[in-house]
Amino acid sequence: MRESIFEALASQSRPSSAYDIADVVSQARGKRVAPNSVYRILDLFVASNLATRVESANAYLVNAHPGCQHDCIFLVCTQCGRAIHVDDDSMTAHLREQATRTGFAPTRTVIEVQGRCDTCATAP
């Protein structure tokens, strides 16, 4: 089950919701898979750094760098749904530092920029 869900997630070029993945896996397996169980497994992937969550899209992507920890930044195209992944460790480290200075214990930094990707921005 986990394997089919990971495969389904890896085959998507855009961030996908638990519902999208449930549809793909249901079709591949020929029987209905509940979005709830997909959701749980996707969160497991996130917890183990195999996937990342695009919060503003309520969707998931395969982690581009499972071997290392970054506070990934996503540029989310509101027109086509693409999410462009960038890392800027100095910026996210600075944010964590700011949080820590106030006595706050940060667990996760979320930075997402919404707009239009290069393709959509230049489309007539």
Residues in contact with Zn ion by CB under 5 A are: 70, 72, 77, 79-80, 82, 87, 117, 120
Strands 73-77 vs 111-115: parallel, antiparallel or unpaired:
parallel
Question: What element of type H or E holds 28?
Answer: helix 18-29
- Nearest approach, Cβ of residue 73 and Zn ion (Å): 7
| For Zn ion, the closer CB: 44 or 86 | 86
- Nearest approach, Cβ of residue 32 and Zn ion (Å): 32
- Nearest approach, Cβ of residue 117 and Zn ion (Å): 3
CA atoms within 13 A on the CB side of 28: 15
Q: In which residue are the tokens 């389904």 written?
A: 8
| For Zn ion, the closer CB: 17 or 70 | 70
| For Zn ion, the closer CB: 41 or 77 | 77
Rounded-to-integer distance, Cα 63 and Cα 60, Å:
9
